[in-house]
Amino acid sequence: MSFSLCPLLTQGAIEALLLRGSPELQKRYLPKMVEGRWTGTMNLTEPQAGSDLSLVRTKAERQGDHYLVSGQKIFITYGEHDMSENIVHLVLARTPDAPEGVKGISLFVVPKFMEDGKRNPAKCASIEHKLGSGPSSARSRSPRSASRAATSSRAGNRCPSSATPMYAGC
Domain ranges of the chain: 2-44+59-168
Q: Report the pLDDT value the prediction gives residue 166, as an integer from 0 to 100.
A: 52
Distance CA 126, CA 3 (A): 20
Q: Report the pLDDT value the prediction gives residue 36, as an integer from 0 to 100.
A: 96
* CB contact set of 44 (below 8 Å; sequence gap of 6+): 53, 73, 92
Q: Report the pLDDT value the prediction gives residue 61, as an integer from 0 to 100.
A: 93
- Would you tell me the crossing angle of helices 23-35 and 5-20 to the nearest 10 degrees? 160
The architecture of the domain spanning 2-44+59-168 is Beta Barrel (2.40)
DSSP result, 79-122: -S-SSSSEEEEEEEEB-TTPPSSGGG-EEEEEESB-TTSPBPS-
DSSP result, 25-53: HHHHHHHHHHHTSEEEEEE--BTTTBT-G
- The residues of the chain scoring below 70 in pLDDT are 1, 129-147, 150-170
* CB contact set of 1 (below 8 Å; sequence gap of 6+): none
Q: Report the pLDDT value the prediction gives residue 23, as an integer from 0 to 100.
A: 93
